[in-house]
Amino acid sequence: MQKVKDALDTFSEEKGQQKVRRKKSPEDRFKNLKPRDKEYREPTEIAGLYCRVQPNGKKSWQYRYKNAKGKWAWVGLGSYPKIGYLQAREKAEGMSNGDIEVKTQAELNQIKVEEEQALFSHLIYEWLERKKLKWKPETYKKERQSIEKHIIPVFGHRPYNTITSKEWFNFFTQKQLNEHIFNRVEKLISYCSGAYKLAKFKKDILYNPLEGIGEHIDKLASKSMKHVQIYELPEMVSLIRTYSSRPIAIGLELLIHMFPRPGELRNARWEQFNFDEAVWIRPASIMKRNIEHGIPLSKQVIELLKELKEISTESDYLFPSRDNINKPISNLTFNVALNRLGYKGRQNPHGFRHIASTNLNKHFSDKSQVIESALSHLKGGVKGAYDKGAHLEERYELMQWWSDYIKSLLK
């Protein structure tokens, strides 16, 4: 009998020790909670703190509190066992003492949305979206890529109202000094400033940190406007005529004589040329200002075009791609040709416009409006709009004079 009594005493003692151990490990209580058919909440020793158990066995901590409206609400404190009991208790005690601000998931989601909307990336993309309706698709794609290349990596993650004028100034100045992209910097400044104007209009900010920055940023000639002097033109034309691709050589000469924007010539189609009327009608779709415009054709230009027509493939384009005749040549083709001829850093396709503008204004100082129309620049004021016939008769004389002048230099 004594042995039985001793055994029972030992069993009772071990059972008591197990109870003590359980009391010392409250974590075990929540670890061993079993799922039921319906979700339930197991209370803890901390007022308002519960362990939520779902039918699939997942557990999480929830805290019950009264919100600002005096109504009871729940807020999640994290999943179990990622967040243990002691951590959950610490959070709950902090909330009950007012040390930690209680926010619902909806409130947290709203804060996240507001934080994302405060980023410069969100602002510039919102501004770009508005430009999508005004710009041609290729322009939109090009300028978006430029913004994503130069601006987003540096300022995209920053709240736009925290970026100072000094930061913008230093950034664009360094861009100019290190990359020599003066024209591109001017465009980027315009875009970023436009985004801030949008924010200001929406009353998200009180001032535009880029306002007036253009007065202090160097306005040097863009790399894309590099050009030789007029006295160097004869040697250049001679070299152009030796280029391995005759169609591209003709294209370069056409750029000299007609001085269109390179992209306009690159996308030119034969249907746009009327040899009887001696005019190239450029549709709005290829024009920078989205306005149809005509270029009178000099005798020299017509000769070049007829030669190009004879050696061209069956394509709608004057300068079709080698890989696909239904597409124009790359926007780098003319530039590559000039580089190969030894004019890298000295002459770019767009620079021919500068040569023509400078020298035409020297010889026709009293016909600035005619020259501006020939360059397809918009006039200022209420007469800013032009059509394909603006100053057309005078431009016939102007364009023929320019071609004759170039021819006289080559003698």
Spatial separation of the C-alpha atoms in residues 337 and 356, rounded to whole Å:
20
Q: Are residues 280 and 396 in the same domain?
A: yes
Residue 363 has pLDDT above 70, yes or no: yes
The larger pLDDT score, comparing residue 278 to residue 10, is at 278
Q: What is the CATH number of the domain that holds 58?
A: 3.30.160.390
Question: 55-102, pLDDT tens digit by residue?
Answer: 989 999 999 888 767 788 888 888 898 888 999 998 888 887 765 555
Domain carrying residue 135: 117-220
Q: Are residues 397 and 265 in the same domain?
A: yes
Is residue 325 situated within a structural domain?
Answer: yes
Strands 293-296 and 40-43: unpaired
Q: How much is the average pLDDT of 302-313? A: 94
Q: Are residues 211 and 236 in the same domain?
A: no
Report yes or no: 88 and 61 within 8 Å, Cβ to Cβ: yes
- pTM for this entry: 0.51
Q: What pLDDT is recorded for position 41?
A: 93
Spatial separation of the C-alpha atoms in residues 279 and 185, rounded to whole Å:
35
| 72: phi then psi, degrees, rounded to nearest 5 | -70, 140
Report yes or no: 334 and 267 within 8 Å, Cβ to Cβ: no
345: left (phi over 0), alpha (psi -120 to 50) or beta: left
Question: 386-402, pLDDT tens digit by residue?
Answer: 344 567 788 899 999 99
Average pLDDT of the residues of the chain: 84
Q: What pLDDT is recorded for position 388?
A: 46
Task: Count the Cβ atoms, other than its own, within 10 Å of residue 404.
Answer: 13
Is residue 4 situated within a structural domain?
Answer: no
Q: Are residues 31 and 177 in the same domain?
A: no
Which residues lie closer than 8 Å to 286 by C-beta, 6 or more apart? 263, 264, 267, 268
Number of folded domains that form the chain: 3
Q: Are residues 363 and 287 in the same domain?
A: yes
Q: Are residues 247 and 172 in the same domain?
A: no
Place of tokens 């300068």: 319
Residue 284 has pLDDT above 90, yes or no: no
Q: Please return the burial class of 11, using the count of CB atoms within 10 Å of its CB with bins 0-12, 13-18 and 19+.
A: exposed
Q: Considering just the CA atoms, what is the radius of gyration of the chain in Å?
A: 37
Q: Are residues 214 and 252 in the same domain?
A: no
